Amino acid sequence: MIANKIRSLYKDIFKSYDNPSLEKHIEKIIELDTYLPHSSTFFCITNTQDLTFEYISKNMYPCVGLDIEKLKQDAMRYFWSRIHPEDVEQWLAALNALMEFTLREIPETVRKKMSYTWNYRFKNGNDEYVNIIQNTTPLEFDSAMKPIIGLAHYTVLDPKIKLQVTATAKFLNDNNEYETLYFNNFSQKLLANTVSNRERDIIRLLVLSYSSKEIGDKLNISPNTVDTHRRNILKKLNLNSTGELVGMLKLNRHLI
């Protein structure tokens, strides 16, 4: 019964996305939040124009231990003040690069199909730093089609996991598969300078155990082209097999 309710609410949320209404999104997301179980992920509706949180999900407190009312009151400036000092400059560079890329390279007509991901270390309510991977999907735009309202998901990871600050912009294609249009590693240049965005998408799907044919179908390319990319990836990374590649990436998912 609960699963059916969640499916119905998700359907309503994304139906409303065809004719965006912020009030409708908030109404449906609050309703959905009631049914979602506790997990290591929470979400907010962010307003980067007013620097406020339009909504904060109930999982926020179990995830990071911050008082929801204080977060609502002091909003983004308070949230940002808890980002690790060593990550602030890289985090700002990542956000700036994503915005510049969007305004320069992404046509206004397709910006609603974009999704953005970045990460940083964050001080939780116990004054301990944890890793946060933030994924934001735009909901509303200003007159210049600059995204200002977003649905942001925050995944909290153990601080022992060493992550580099990266930023990614993906586009939802006609096959409902996200394609990487932009990637940058703002800590160190590991895969950033060697693997192309197309190769990065193929790696991500290989980690999910898709075959060359299935990857080709998702990315609108032939299986032969996928196989060529796979050989080039192995050569660039000095690896002997796809199994070795997948094993390395499963241990270092922030590189994908």
The DSSP-derived string for 188-202 is --SSTTTS-HHHHHH
Q: 72, 64, 73: which is closest to 41 by C-alpha? A: 64
- For residue 44, which amino acid is it? C
Quote the distance between the C-alpha of residue 249 and its chain's center. 17
Res. 3: pLDDT tops 50: no
134 phi and psi angles, rounded to 5 deg:
-105, 130
pLDDT more than 70, % of the chain: 83
pLDDT of residue 92: 84
Tokens 């990071």 -> residue? 64
Cα separation of the two ends of the chain:
36
pLDDT of residue 256: 55
Tokens 């890289």 -> residue? 90
The mean pLDDT value for 133-143 works out to 89
What's the burial of 37, exposed, middle or buried (CB within 10 Å: 0-12/13-18/19+)? exposed
213 phi and psi angles, rounded to 5 deg:
-65, -45
Mean pLDDT is lowest, of 34-48, 72-86, 92-106, 229-243, for: 229-243
Residue 248, H or E segment: helix 242-251
The mean pLDDT value for 240-251 works out to 69
In the chain the domains, ranked by start, together with CATH numbers, are: 1-37 (no CATH), 39-188 (3.30.450.20), 189-256 (1.10.10.10)
Tokens 């990542």 -> residue? 94
Where is pLDDT greater, at 145 or 64? 64
β-bridge partners, 122: 83, 130
The mean pLDDT value for 66-87 works out to 91
Q: How far apart are CA 36 and CA 4, in angstroms?
A: 12
Res. 230: pLDDT tops 70: yes
Q: How far apart are CA 151 and CA 135, in angstroms?
A: 8
Q: How far apart are CA 149 and CA 45, in angstroms?
A: 7
Q: How far apart are CA 156 and CA 66, in angstroms?
A: 13
Q: How far apart are CA 199 and CA 125, in angstroms?
A: 39
Res. 5: pLDDT tops 60: no
The mean pLDDT value for 142-158 works out to 88
Q: How far apart are CA 33 and CA 37, in angstroms?
A: 8
Res. 69: pLDDT tops 60: yes
pLDDT more than 90, % of the chain: 33
Q: Are strands 52-56 and 166-172 parallel, antiparallel or unpaired?
A: unpaired
Sheet order of strands, 147-157 included: 52-56, 41-47, 147-157, 129-141, 114-123, 166-172, 178-185
Summarised one tens digit per residue, pLDDT across range 200-223 is: 888 888 878 889 999 999 999 999
The mean pLDDT value for 7-31 works out to 59
Res. 47: pLDDT tops 70: yes
Q: What is the mean pLDDT of the chain?
A: 82
What's the burial of 60, exposed, middle or buried (CB within 10 Å: 0-12/13-18/19+)? buried
Tokens 């192995």 -> residue? 234
Summarised one tens digit per residue, pLDDT across range 159-206 is: 888 888 999 999 998 888 899 999 988 875 545 457 788 888 888 888
The mean pLDDT value for 24-49 works out to 81
